[in-house]
Structure 1
């Protein structure tokens, strides 16, 4: 299982509880008089739509503490016994000492008064002999209290189901706990007990969902003794810190503990319902452990048998599709939001949920500094596609680093009223931190901030992602480690044709990067800072900001990766480092082969009057190195008219009547992965080359920006041979003696 998965869970979303319980006319069979006290919460006047639990609503809820803080949940099943999850107490295969744990009963808020709260030491912790790992089942534990609990209005046991007890799939139940409200998003103060409504899923339906590859292409095999609860569309779940807590279902006016919160793949993710330990199959084990205790747990017979019983119809396997990122056609973005602030130009952002718009902080920097006056949001307006009028702004939240860090230059604006996303407008999908946008992914550029529009009406600004290694090393530091798939990248580099063909670099523009996976669009990156005309552009990835956006909005559409074809095994996952750099970026970097684009980005076409085309090499932003014999005719006294084309190698055919009159240069690859220009072909030969090394002084004096390898960066010769440079040629001292006449440096005016 991936290290990115949560093995203990917490509540992600809260759904309303009914105003009161509907009591059945059929009473459960009582095993002894004490059973009458189980599964009966205190009467309460809950508010529909509320999220906090009212005091006494779930009097069997237990908070398990270790080291002075809440670690897991549990449930009181008898005055001296608490039921929880085994994985809460196992560390490195060893059961932790019972003396390190405390049981808190009657807790409503962890930040509230301690009145009526009972604290008990733990005398023993018991787990099944066959428990080893959470995903292998039998994830339950019994805690024997050092002293029995005092039962009363706020502390009562929950009823337990017999092994024969059947709860129909589709039944609505409740999970409770103090865990995270979203992934990596702790429950805020005052830490009031939370509840979430979950639906029981049949084994076949749950297995169907888990048989579909999810985060990191994982599938999962359900085992006997496990049950699932949740929804295919996700967004309601338990999460980290809820582990060991109860999943309870009402039957005959009493609440039975059906499951124990065990584990899940993330929290509230689509097609990944929470996995619980089913309590009923462990009736015999629980009875055996508590034998002799008086009074013991209340195992009650079923009040009313399910009408379907064993013949219950098979559930349909309904795979939920993303609810975000659907556009009628590329370039028509139903999430495009235009923020209008009096006295300012329109600012373009994106709708990320029913109530929130994400926008660049650069539009509002004069309003978010520490000495700026309070915001007057009354006159602000947001325009969304297909909406009859503007939306008002109720709240403005800037990223804490927005004023000084370009990569964190984001703000969120809350609309005064949520919009209906069943039709246009729609929200764009956001990536989880572990999302990996594959090299070659098809992307588009969209307006962001106050940037200028596309250069031509209807321009699609189509882009294609380059490899993470190439992008990271182009803009990263020498020797830096390249983030592997699953770690947030430092930058995303798309190559896009429309801008190149338009012959401009749009240096004053800001853009967002939208990438598509299986027909769903993700807001992958933002570009809100100038980087000149250096190609390719670097976009700041949005992955690192997903937790912040989720925390603020409590409903933004973070979506799992949808395409998992990572190419040949091991490719992109091996540890890689970056080659030497100039002040303009890494030198000698060749992007991984992709479906289209420039494979040798330093190659230049040097067009000379008369139809000659020479091969040149870009050695600095304004300089191209070429062979003298290709440019100058013997005895010529004047330099011909020359045009240099960059970025056309292997992508565009030569003009009619033109032909390359010089052989390709000699390039060798170093152990670090970058390519070095070793020589330029001698006239009339494809095997003899003018060596570049002896010309270092002349090239450096002329250019000043060319980068030469230090002695430690010598070329690397792979064993077994390849199409790279052979050892004898690399050290060949018999190459023709080179003079500056064999090489020509062209000063090039590079336009966007």
Structure 2
């Protein structure tokens, strides 16, 4: 069971709410003795597992609206249920009690409800100062229309007094029918789940939340909030668990320490779950249930629990680091996996958890033509780094769209026995759907599928990512909106340090995956199609689109939050952008430029130009019409009136363009219907003359002297 509420992308810095918490004025002698609490019938639980045993948590209830489970709750007295306010308040309005019902004594919500029964809700009460979940006071009381029938599977939980102190580090338990992990609902038969969580002190929890983490957020804890979980994440409550109890055992009784309230995702690193602490609300609870017989029980805290280890405000704070994506050096991937099948070449994939390998489904096309498992699965083997023996495969799960969608060409293979990831091999990190790989991110190519290694083993295949605008508009549609940060991109486009032909290298007919580095951690960012001969792929399908599927199947893959957040000054990366619009005649809006001769281009940008780069000069007053970040295409009109795509802007530059001509072979193979002009249709360049650059020309593209000389050597190519 891993949180319940997915917070928006904002930074919360909140002041405490005055007057919300008071110690109870009631003395221990006023405690009712006629209600036993916190004592379930003897029942073995699956410790460390997920399915709870029937009767293990007899105070757990399910709150239904519209015929289905919405939130959890706990029985605190025969006529009262404790839950979370945010389950019942929508847009500042408290929902009608008549719309809700309470299911008690249920274990599986899809089967015979033996010993279970339903009660309608007569009233829903929330604190006057509750407004929204992140401001605290997130608790609610539900009064039942008739008392619950107490039995071995229906019993109340004990509540702590305002003076009650739970020792930090105490092992407690959260229960509910919520999602197993983000975007992964609890499957049939909807059995009650349990998870062990450790209580975190206020200082330790605030330390974790003061460090930017998922969504680049920090958060200020308020009085009355309680944290439970682990810095390393991976165990947590999740959507649908809201309102359920967090209980701790003391002196043979179970006390409800907290109410499941909210979190930043589910089980994410350095983001423990946030619960409403029950103790500070003793007075409010007593006031609301006054007159009920019997009412909730607030037993005295056992003496031995009052001398536990108290936390200092100056305690050490341990920030958990990613457990995935660590490589000794680029190109040496400890997650590299080779799947060996009889009679075929090895298929290259990557280790994503202790027990699962991700690889292209196209490697196994013969095995995914039906729903039946591969007949020869017992003969498959997986080779992993630093493992002296091969691993056997126990399960094969292709993506449901693998046979017709190249972007979904994925399959997962489960190893028969998990491997130890304390050294090599290690798992690669996978991005969450909202991950945003920043333009300029340092990336490398890694083998993917049945390709062969490069002829030059020393090549590191370096690349860096281009901006989302350039990539999306090149492979998308004119006028389409560019996916902003936080939304899965359609493509990832790398820019390479050098071209293979220039370096005398060839990468064979291989497929590649794209590994990108953030803060010393490697992510599997994208997967590419089969490339054209020796050329590297120009676009990759993002893996993050499939992270929920990978997480659902593996229940243990290492999804990691974004680690780099430098979106540039004033957040221009977050602004909504679109691809260039068309005129009424269908021609993109043009800015007049002229292309420089190769010699003059070289002189102006000596030593910094990749091969095949074109340089342009703008007509007077036209430069401001070209967006620096837009990476516009360079179009030229021939004498015959045809428009030719000559180049694409280099990394958003206004003056430098990557020539399209050298990519003819790759484009022709990728887009068979593309039309190329014969050589005679290309621009005519005047003789270059001397190889020497004019005095003071190198690097002086912005100077008046350079501009004057340029005008004498230009070949005009774009006209009104």
Provide the TM-score with structure 1 as the length reference: 0.77
| Aligned equivalent of 1:749 | none
User: Does the 8 Å CA contact 1:615/1:664 hold for their aligned counterparts?
Assistant: no
DSSP-derived class of the 1:197 partner: strand
In 1, Cα distance between the equivalents of 2:596 and 2:487?
35
Matches within 5 A, 1:21-32: 31-32=31-32
What is the CA distance between 1:705 and its match in structure 2? 5.4
DSSP-derived class of the 2:437 partner: coil
Matched, 1:269 2:268: yes
What is the CA distance between 1:355 and its match in structure 2? 0.2
What is the CA distance between 1:677 and its match in structure 2? 6.1
In 2, Cα distance between the equivalents of 1:589 and 1:247?
63
| Aligned equivalent of 1:697 | 641
How big is each residue's C-alpha offset from its partner over 1:695-747, in whole Å with a ceiling of 9 and x where there is no partner? Answer: 462767999758xxxxxxxxxxxxxxxx99xxxxxxxxxx99xxxx96799xx
User: Does the 8 Å CA contact 1:450/1:509 hold for their aligned counterparts?
Assistant: yes
Matches within 5 A, 1:62-141: 62-141=61-140
How big is each residue's C-alpha offset from its partner over 1:516-540, in whole Å with a ceiling of 9 and x where there is no partner? Answer: 1110100001113446888871010
| Aligned equivalent of 2:669 | none
DSSP-derived class of the 1:318 partner: coil
In 2, Cα distance between the equivalents of 1:408 and 1:663?
40
Matched, 1:207 2:206: yes
| Aligned equivalent of 2:608 | 651
User: Does the 8 Å CA contact 2:322/2:521 hold for their aligned counterparts?
Assistant: yes
DSSP-derived class of the 2:45 partner: coil
In 2, Cα distance between the equivalents of 1:393 and 1:369?
19
Q: Can you give the 5+ residue segments of structure 2 that lack an aligned partner in the other structure?
A: 9-27, 647-660, 662-674, 678-700, 703-710
What is the CA distance between 1:356 and its match in structure 2? 0.2
| Aligned equivalent of 2:690 | none
What is the CA distance between 1:291 and its match in structure 2? 0.3
In 2, Cα distance between the equivalents of 1:603 and 1:189?
65
What is the CA distance between 1:215 and its match in structure 2? 1.8
What is the CA distance between 1:458 and its match in structure 2? 1.8
What is the CA distance between 1:571 and its match in structure 2? 1.0
Matches within 5 A, 1:436-585: 436-500=436-500, 501-502=502-503, 506=507, 508-530=509-531, 537-579=538-580
How big is each residue's C-alpha offset from its partner over 1:173-204, in whole Å with a ceiling of 9 and x where there is no partner? Answer: 00000000000100011100000000000000
How big is each residue's C-alpha offset from its partner over 1:655-705, in whole Å with a ceiling of 9 and x where there is no partner? Answer: 9xxxx9x98465756578564769xxxxxxxxxxxxx77946276799975
What is the CA distance between 1:373 and its match in structure 2? 7.9
In 2, Cα distance between the equivalents of 1:297 and 1:182?
33
What is the CA distance between 1:452 and its match in structure 2? 2.3
Matches within 5 A, 1:39-50: 39-50=38-49
| Aligned equivalent of 1:686 | none
How big is each residue's C-alpha offset from its partner over 1:494-544, in whole Å with a ceiling of 9 and x where there is no partner? Answer: 112254443567472200111111101000011134468888710100111
Q: 1:701 to 1:549 in 2, by over 3 A?
A: closer
User: Does the 8 Å CA contact 2:356/2:415 hold for their aligned counterparts?
Assistant: yes
Matched, 1:393 2:393: yes
In 2, Cα distance between the equivalents of 1:113 and 1:468?
53
| Aligned equivalent of 1:299 | 298
What is the CA distance between 1:604 and its match in structure 2? 8.1
Q: 1:319 to 1:97 in 2, by over 3 A?
A: same
User: Does the 8 Å CA contact 2:61/2:105 hold for their aligned counterparts?
Assistant: yes
| Aligned equivalent of 1:715 | none
DSSP-derived class of the 1:511 partner: strand
CA RMSD of aligned residues (A): 3.5
What is the CA distance between 1:33 and its match in structure 2? 3.5
DSSP-derived class of the 2:215 partner: helix
User: Does the 8 Å CA contact 2:52/2:191 hold for their aligned counterparts?
Assistant: yes
User: Does the 8 Å CA contact 2:250/2:305 hold for their aligned counterparts?
Assistant: no
In 2, Cα distance between the equivalents of 1:654 and 1:49?
59
**Which of 177-186 and 450-459 deviates more?**
450-459
Q: 1:100 to 1:699 in 2, by over 3 A?
A: closer
What is the CA distance between 1:374 and its match in structure 2? 3.8
| Aligned equivalent of 1:180 | 179
In 1, Cα distance between the equivalents of 2:595 and 2:607?
10
Q: Can you give the 5+ residue segments of structure 1 that lack an aligned partner in the other structure?
A: 9-27, 591-600, 607-612, 617-644, 679-691, 707-722, 725-734, 746-752
Q: 1:80 to 1:7 in 2, by over 3 A?
A: farther
What is the CA distance between 1:311 and its match in structure 2? 5.3
Q: 1:99 to 1:199 in 2, by over 3 A?
A: same
User: Does the 8 Å CA contact 1:470/1:589 hold for their aligned counterparts?
Assistant: no
| Aligned equivalent of 2:322 | 322
User: Does the 8 Å CA contact 1:326/1:519 hold for their aligned counterparts?
Assistant: yes
Q: 1:268 to 1:244 in 2, by over 3 A?
A: same
In 2, Cα distance between the equivalents of 1:182 and 1:304?
38
User: Does the 8 Å CA contact 1:79/1:150 hold for their aligned counterparts?
Assistant: yes
What is the CA distance between 1:127 and its match in structure 2? 0.1
Larger Rg: 1
What is the CA distance between 1:588 and its match in structure 2? 10
What is the CA distance between 1:361 and its match in structure 2? 1.1
Q: 1:4 to 1:481 in 2, by over 3 A?
A: farther
Matches within 5 A, 1:545-694: 545-579=546-580, 606=598, 613=599, 651-652=608-609, 664=617, 666=619, 668=623, 670=625, 673=630, 675=632
In 2, Cα distance between the equivalents of 1:605 and 1:238?
64
In 2, Cα distance between the equivalents of 1:209 and 1:496?
38
DSSP-derived class of the 2:450 partner: coil
Q: 1:615 to 1:154 in 2, by over 3 A?
A: same
In 1, Cα distance between the equivalents of 2:207 and 2:639?
66
In 2, Cα distance between the equivalents of 1:602 and 1:406?
39
User: Does the 8 Å CA contact 1:511/1:527 hold for their aligned counterparts?
Assistant: yes
**Which of 106-115 and 525-534 deviates more?**
525-534
How big is each residue's C-alpha offset from its partner over 1:269-313, in whole Å with a ceiling of 9 and x where there is no partner? Answer: 000000000000000000000000000000111012545469544
User: Does the 8 Å CA contact 1:263/1:275 hold for their aligned counterparts?
Assistant: yes
In 2, Cα distance between the equivalents of 1:230 and 1:407?
36
In 2, Cα distance between the equivalents of 1:371 and 1:6?
35
User: Does the 8 Å CA contact 1:402/1:409 hold for their aligned counterparts?
Assistant: yes
In 1, Cα distance between the equivalents of 2:527 and 2:331?
16
User: Does the 8 Å CA contact 2:337/2:351 hold for their aligned counterparts?
Assistant: yes
User: Does the 8 Å CA contact 2:78/2:156 hold for their aligned counterparts?
Assistant: yes
User: Does the 8 Å CA contact 1:449/1:511 hold for their aligned counterparts?
Assistant: yes
In 1, Cα distance between the equivalents of 2:508 and 2:589?
25
What is the CA distance between 1:477 and its match in structure 2? 1.1
In 2, Cα distance between the equivalents of 1:322 and 1:242?
26
Matches within 5 A, 1:336-351: 336-351=336-351
Paired residues in the alignment total: 626
**Which of 303-312 and 422-431 deviates more?**
303-312
How big is each residue's C-alpha offset from its partner over 1:218-252, in whole Å with a ceiling of 9 and x where there is no partner? Answer: 10000000000000000000000000000000000
DSSP-derived class of the 1:474 partner: helix
What is the CA distance between 1:451 and its match in structure 2? 1.4
What is the CA distance between 1:139 and its match in structure 2? 0.1
In 1, Cα distance between the equivalents of 2:452 and 2:549?
28
User: Does the 8 Å CA contact 1:176/1:246 hold for their aligned counterparts?
Assistant: yes
In 1, Cα distance between the equivalents of 2:193 and 2:261?
17
In 2, Cα distance between the equivalents of 1:485 and 1:458?
35
User: Does the 8 Å CA contact 1:665/1:677 hold for their aligned counterparts?
Assistant: no
| Aligned equivalent of 2:370 | 370
In 2, Cα distance between the equivalents of 1:204 and 1:396?
45
Matches within 5 A, 1:410-429: 410-429=410-429
| Aligned equivalent of 2:251 | 252
User: Does the 8 Å CA contact 1:244/1:262 hold for their aligned counterparts?
Assistant: yes
In 1, Cα distance between the equivalents of 2:220 and 2:495?
41
User: Does the 8 Å CA contact 2:507/2:535 hold for their aligned counterparts?
Assistant: no
User: Does the 8 Å CA contact 2:4/2:242 hold for their aligned counterparts?
Assistant: no
What is the CA distance between 1:135 and its match in structure 2? 0.3
